[in-house]
Amino acid sequence: MTPQDQQQQNIQSVGAATVREQDKIQLILAYLGILSLIPLLTVKDSEFVKWNAKQGLVLFIAYIVIGFFNVIPVLGQILWCVGTVGYAVSVILGITKSLKGERWTIPLISDLASKF
């Protein structure tokens, strides 16, 4: 097998973005809370990974902000529970869609991340 064949085998192209084998770990880290800083600060050659890392970081910050509402007796705890489920679902969808090469825009979160 030639090096070109190996490189072609390591690249998965779906939709508009190309997911390289070496970017898969970085894409998973991009949505795991504070660990999204790792791909944001280390990856220089992939705009797709940086875009997902920014989105994951803003998503984590939004989750932290929602956590502050937990001090409000009933309404805050309900909001925190709903926010936790929404965060978990967003993380799972973000990881799966990014590994497929899709740019999944989370409403409001993606807008804030694009201003980064």
Supply the Cα-derived Rg of the chain in whole angstroms: 16
Determine how many CB atoms are found less than 10 A away from the CB of residue 22: 12
Give the amino acid at 84: T
- Is residue 18 within 8 Å of 73, Cβ to Cβ? no
What is the C-alpha to C-alpha distance for residues 20 and 113, in angstroms, rounded to an integer? 23
pLDDT of amino acid 17? 64
Q: Give yes or no for a contact between 53 and 30, defined as CB atoms under 8 angstroms apart.
A: yes
Type of residue at 40: L
| Strand residues in 15-115 grouped as ranges (E) | 17-20
| pLDDT beneath 50: ranges in the chain | 3-15
Residue spans per domain, the chain? 18-114
The pTM is what? 0.80
Q: What is the DSSP letter of 31?
A: T
Predicted local distance difference test score (pLDDT) of residue 96 = 96
Burial class (CB in 10 A: 0-12, 13-18, 19+), 107: exposed
